[in-house]
Amino acid sequence: MSQQAPALKLLAIGAHPDDLEFGMGAVLLKEFAQGTEIAMVVTSKGEAGSAGTPVIREAETRAAAKMLGASERLSFLDFGGDGLQTASPENSVQLARIIREFRPDIICAPSLSTNQHPDHCAVGNAARNACRLARYGGLAALAGLPSHSVSSLWFYSITAHEDNPLSTATLIDVSEMAESWQQLMACHASQVSQRAYIELQLSRAQQLGSMAGCKYAMALWPNDPPVIQTLGQLQRTARAF
C-alpha cells in the first residue's frame, strides 16, 4: 500500500493586510484547493492606511485567512510600522524564525521592484534574506530551532505599475478561482469600499489571461531559475500576441 505524499507547505508573506489577497489571492486559493498547507505572515496592520483601523484590518485579514485554511497559521509581525518597514537583520530574523517553525517548501513574498510602496520592496528583501538565515545552522539568534532550506522563493506583484518584466515571470491559470478570489478580496471591506481594487486586480488578471490563453492568470517571479526534469513539464509559454 503506497503512502500518501505529505502536503506541500507554502508560506505567504505580505507587508500589509490585503497584499496577499490582492496580489496573489487566486493562486493561494488554487493551492489550498489542491491540498497545499498555507501559512500567512503580515508585517504591519495598515496603520498608515487612509481607510480602516488596525483593529478592523486585522479582523479582515483573519476572515481571509479562514478562507485559505490558514486561521491557525496567521502571524502578524512588527517591522517598524506601516510606511516605515525595513529589511533589517532583526526583521529578517523574525521571518527566519517562522520559516524554521513552519518549514515551508515554497515562500511567496512581495516583489523587489522599487517602483511601488516602499514597504513591499523592504519586506520582499527581508524575506529573501530570511530564507538564507533560516538555513544557517550556527546563527545564535535562532538557536534551538533546526535549520531549514526552502525549495523555492517566488515574488508576487501588488501594484500595476511595477517594472518587473513579464518575460521572466511564470503565469498561473487561475480562471476557475475568479469567483472565490473576489470573495477573498471582499474580506477587506474597508479597502474595497474606498477604491475599485477588486476590479483593478481582475482586469490585470484578465490581461495576463489573454496572454496565457485562458480567462484569468496571475504572475509570479522566481528568485532563482526554476528546475524541471523535462521540457514536457512546461506545456506552453505565453505567445498569444
Cell numbers found for residue 179: 469567483
Residue 4 included in any domain: no
Residue 229 included in any domain: no
pLDDT tens digits, one per residue of 43-68: 999 887 778 799 999 999 999 999 99
* Contact of 161 with 115, CB cutoff 8 Å: yes
Residue 239 included in any domain: no
Work out the pLDDT band at 232, boundaries 50, 70, 90.
Answer: confident
Distance CA 9, CA 127 (A): 16
Q: Which domain holds residue 33?
A: 9-224
**pLDDT value for 47:** 83
pLDDT tens digits, one per residue of 66-123: 999 999 999 999 999 999 999 999 999 999 999 999 999 999 999 999 889 999 999 9
Residue 73 included in any domain: yes
Residue 21 included in any domain: yes
Residue 156 included in any domain: yes
pTM: 0.94
Q: Is the pLDDT of residue 3 over 70?
A: no
Residue 230 included in any domain: no
Residue 232 included in any domain: no
Q: Is the pLDDT of residue 226 over 70?
A: yes
pLDDT tens digits, one per residue of 130-158: 999 999 999 999 999 999 999 999 999 99
Q: Is the pLDDT of residue 195 over 90?
A: no
What residue type is 208 in one-letter code?
Answer: L
| CATH number of the domain that residue 27 is part of | 3.40.50.10320
Number of domains in the chain: 1
Q: Percentage of the chain surpassing pLDDT 90?
A: 83
Mean pLDDT of 207-229: 94
**pLDDT value for 5:** 74
* Contact of 31 with 8, CB cutoff 8 Å: yes
| pLDDT, greater one: 217 or 1 | 217
